[in-house]
Structure 1
């Protein structure tokens, strides 16, 4: 089996493509079962965030094409439409990629910490679906350990830069005094909670949290003196919102153009700043065409994010060195699996020979031969049988001038310096 990762992210695919190739929490389990139903796919983890969708798997040869076709086919998207945006990494490159992702080195926001939680969640889901095995499990556990090392040993996360921070920074550029503004936050996940925290620290006047589960909305709102509503109540409160920031896992938009138009009329066309962090998008793209609405998507935040990245560049170089070291460490473990298989096969063969000779020795004892004679037979015969195959191959290597095999045998059996190989007969 070989390790493989296939996916697309904010660097390779525009939001219009990314939002069509996402896996919401409600479909990942079914997707994993479907993927593993394909021949040659033995283990799999699906990581799906607003900036990336990736499939990590252990496959037989030919697995790359299988997964490439499955990724678009599962979503009903033509292979030709998706394939140009996909990247694939195998073996060491796949290991390095996951380590970089877990450390935040491949994120839109360099070093952002949220991705590690998302990677852990993706692995936990795959494990609960029995979609992981020895190879992928060891890889992800290794990635978690490396991410912890990077966080501890470098300053990669020292600057307050994230998608949430970028969204609030943009709001501050548009509204000089946030204390006079009302913010409606749609969703109640980790990103929205981070947005609420940044807004609260910047003195936002009022926070409304809208979520499918009102209880969860209450949990977030209560931390920042806000109040909670259900998604179905958004239309009744939207006119109060100067700032709208949305990040849900909904497969369809939760805020349409008509609803925003009605809110603008009630606001008498006072401007409304909106940031849609979700992929697929929560706010219909047509909303951007409305006068007095300033709508930004997650891709539009890149410029704001770039300004906060300079302090992380040196730390990122240190992190890359740590990743490279630990990627090689994992590959060493992976190579050791080949040795384990050889050792198991060799041991099995030796045990078979032992049992065969032992059975013959027992029969000689039963036939009345003396114990010393039988022990001598056992030792002599077993030694000859164990050494026959390697001795024959070493003689052949010497005849054919294969010095590397003789040197390897010398190292393997911890013997003295190997004699020069004889030249092959003319």
Structure 2
């Protein structure tokens, strides 16, 4: 049995690579089932966000190379290109990595809360796909419990520091007065909801939410006094937008250079601040070449994020200690679980031997053998059978020079070296 966590993230791979390795929600179930069918993985889950794509696996024997080959093939990347930016963690290191990720300790924004919800979604999808069993299931539950403890017992989640907050902070640096600015938000998911909340708190003059479905956009718009439109209406809204922040699950860019160029002409080249939080990207990279556009991706938010993290650094060490305790507790429980399986098998064997000897005793009684003799024979037979297999194995271990195993056996059977002498 081995746990493996492997993947890429914002620290090891550029946004260009991350968007090529990202899984769409529609792909996940089929990808999970294929992963378990093609690789030696007995259990599997996939976490895919704008900042990371990670696979969490349980295997009989660790074989990360086969999984990396599958991941590269699935996304039509060369194995060498993937190896250059991938990481692999095994067993307790894999457990630690999952707990750090869920606690926000491995995020671009230290302590950001959204990742825990994303991990819970990854677990739910894996359960739907039928690729999570008892071992990986226990690991996820332990991970969620540790992350909750980190949130409750440390200050790592205090202050509104997130990619969404960083984007709005950057907008404040570019526009001296957000009260005069208009914002176009593309998408209606969790990240855009956070962006809308921060912009609303900053008193932005007007917020427009553009989405594929008007119903979802309207729900979000109503919450923050915004205006809802369809994606098809973006060109008209773009003309009046000083701030554009996008985060959708689209596999192709939904805002191109031509559309932005036309909007700039109508704006008489009044600048537009854009942040593309999505992976894969929503805004064509060529848009950044336009003179009056300030285009940022998630990777460009590092400096803003770093500046806003100082208040959380002190809590990070306490969080790391809680994660360490969570790893130790889980691994201990896992070892105990292995012992339970051995004990169950040993008990079943002992009960089978007991039943055989009881059956013999009953036959002897039916044949008229005295009860005293039957009891004595039952005790001898049961003792001999229970000791036979351990005796054979101990002699073999001794012949092989495995004195460490003999010492373990003496401890296992609670044998005192002086007991024989005292009994004489």
TM (norm. structure 2) is: 0.95
Number of residues of Structure 1 aligned to a counterpart in Structure 2:
420
CA separation in 1, counterparts of 2:401 and 2:283?
73
For each residue in 1:366-418, what CA deviation from the matched residue of structure 2 results, as whole angstroms up to 9, or x when unmatched?
A: 32323332222112211122123334555677788866445433432334356
User: 1:409 — aligned with what?
Assistant: 409
Cα pair 2:32 2:46 within 8 Å, conserved: yes
TM (norm. structure 1) is: 0.94
User: 1:170 — aligned with what?
Assistant: 170
User: 1:158 — aligned with what?
Assistant: 158
CA separation in 1, counterparts of 2:317 and 2:396?
51
CA separation in 2, counterparts of 1:363 and 1:140?
53
Cα pair 1:406 1:418 within 8 Å, conserved: no
User: 2:94 — aligned with what?
Assistant: 94
Distance 1:269 1:141, change over 3 A: same
CA separation in 1, counterparts of 2:162 and 2:393?
62
Residue 135 of structure 1 aligns to a residue whose secondary structure is: helix
Distance 1:401 1:59, change over 3 A: closer
Residue 20 of structure 2 aligns to a residue whose secondary structure is: coil
CA separation in 2, counterparts of 1:404 and 1:3?
28
User: 2:353 — aligned with what?
Assistant: 353
Which 5+ residue runs of structure 2 have no aligned equivalent? none
User: 1:235 — aligned with what?
Assistant: 235
Cα pair 2:72 2:78 within 8 Å, conserved: yes
CA separation in 2, counterparts of 1:398 and 1:222?
78
Cα pair 2:2 2:62 within 8 Å, conserved: no
User: 1:116 — aligned with what?
Assistant: 116
User: 1:423 — aligned with what?
Assistant: none
CA separation in 2, counterparts of 1:189 and 1:399?
67
User: 2:198 — aligned with what?
Assistant: 198
For each residue in 1:32-83, what CA deviation from the matched residue of structure 2 results, as whole angstroms up to 9, or x when unmatched?
A: 1111111411111100000000000111325311210111211122222222
Cα pair 2:276 2:295 within 8 Å, conserved: yes
Cα pair 2:4 2:62 within 8 Å, conserved: no
CA separation in 2, counterparts of 1:359 and 1:150?
57
CA separation in 1, counterparts of 2:360 and 2:24?
65
Tell me the C-alpha RMSD between the 2 structures.
1.9
Cα pair 2:104 2:110 within 8 Å, conserved: yes
Q: Per-residue deviation at 1:356?
A: 2.4
Cα pair 1:410 1:418 within 8 Å, conserved: no
Q: Per-residue deviation at 1:281?
A: 0.4
User: 1:84 — aligned with what?
Assistant: 84
Q: Per-residue deviation at 1:363?
A: 2.5
The farther-off stretch of 170-179 and 388-397 is 388-397
Confirm or deny that 1:315 pairs with 2:315: yes
Which 5+ residue runs of structure 1 have no aligned equivalent? 421-426
CA separation in 2, counterparts of 1:410 and 1:106?
45
Residue 344 of structure 2 aligns to a residue whose secondary structure is: helix
CA separation in 2, counterparts of 1:4 and 1:173?
42
